[in-house]
Amino acid sequence: MSGSAADRRIRALRGPKPTVDPWKAHGSLVDEERRPSGAIEHALTIFLAGAECPFTCSFCDLWRYTTDGPTPSGALPAQIADTLASIEGERPQRIKLYNASNFFDQRSVPPDDLPAIAELCAPFDAVTVESHASTVRSGAVDFARRLLGSLEVAMGLETIHPEASRHLNKRLDLDRFDRASAFLIENGIDVRVFVLLGAPHIPAAESVEWTVRAVEYAAQRGAAVVSIIPVRGGNGEMERLAAIGEFVPPTLGQLETALDRCVGWDRTVVTADLWDAERLPGCECCRPARIARLRRINVSGRAEPPIVCVECE
């Protein structure tokens, strides 16, 4: 991937890339998820190994979990089958196939593998995959028709802040996102949206406000679920931006405030992504209680009193 000057700069700042086995999933987890109907689902997420996303977003660290070349034919069905064979207990209602890239990019997911993937997903009531809005085309509808259950496509909106959007190197404008969302909904496919907290090029004092605006934007376009994801450092580019004052890592308190402002919305479930929440800047004394509170709100959708801590008041 040669790419643009921005692509080359971002890639040059990365640390060493771990060796990734394309025949072995990175892992899996089962958790509870609330749906717009109020129903609580058990969802199995499989973190698949495959080809790297071509878009080279400035904030992304998922390249660490991808292969250097295209995903080999047959690798993804093998990863899914092996993971399903290891799952014990009651079958979850939903399966989420997260490949750290774009499910509808043929380099990432070979088209010949789609029938086998759909067959492996047959026991589940719903399937979620992730993809850049630019890759959402008729292939999404074709895959949905192969499934016995419903399909949901997760897309990154990230931010609607005009300047920040231009600097993310995502190659996504709001019109493209709007068209992809409308296309999916018109074809009976649910939309899940990722929104950033602490996006670079947004002043820290405005970070929560722009995050909430992006959540509102996604909800107005029919998103069933919106996940607020704190931007993580560690990919080299975020450290460069921090050094010149263009990125301030979001705090646990900001994540709490953003979610609190989005509780109780109709038709759209809003959650806080708690992956690596332990690394967010915040009070060490009350951190476990605050994360536990966010986890409860994610599932219940109900407001809770804030955590009171004498150490950080």
DSSP 215: H
Taking the alpha carbons at both ends of the chain, their separation in whole angstroms is 49
Contact 270, 226 (CB under 8 A): yes
* Summary mean pLDDT of the chain: 96
pLDDT of 299 higher than 80 = yes
pLDDT of residue 2: 59
**Residue 312's pLDDT is what?**
79
Q: What is the CATH number of domain 5-300?
A: 3.20.20.70
Chain segment 138-186, per-residue pLDDT in tens: 999 999 999 999 999 999 999 999 999 999 999 999 999 999 999 999 9
At residue 62, does pLDDT exceed 70?
Answer: yes
108 vs 103, 111, 224, 226, 231, CA distance in Å? 7, 9, 25, 24, 24
* Residue 266: pLDDT band with limits 50, 70, 90: confident
Q: Is the pLDDT of residue 1 over 60?
A: no
pLDDT of residue 156: 98
Q: Quick check: 85 pLDDT over 80?
A: yes
- Residue 9 pLDDT more than 60? yes
The mean per-residue pLDDT over the stretch 268-294 comes to 95
Residue 313 has pLDDT above 80, yes or no: no
Structural domain boundaries in the chain: 5-300
Give the model confidence (pLDDT) of 86-128 as tens digits. 998 889 999 999 999 999 999 999 999 999 999 999 999 999 9
Of 250, 289, 209, 193, nearest to 59 (Cα)?
A: 250
- pLDDT of 231 reads 97
Residue 264, pLDDT score? 87
Query: For position 136, what pLDDT does the model report?
Result: 96
Mark residue 120 as left, alpha or beta (left: phi above 0; alpha: psi -120 to 50; beta: remaining). Answer: alpha
Give the integer Cα–Cα distance in Å for 102 and 143: 14
Q: How far apart are CA 84 and CA 65, in angstroms?
A: 20
Report the pLDDT value the prediction gives residue 192, as an integer from 0 to 100: 98
- Examine the pLDDT at 188 and tell me if it is beyond 60: yes
Closest by alpha carbon to 307, among 298, 141, 291?
A: 291
Residue 9 CB contacts under 8 Å (≥ 6 apart), including other chains: 237
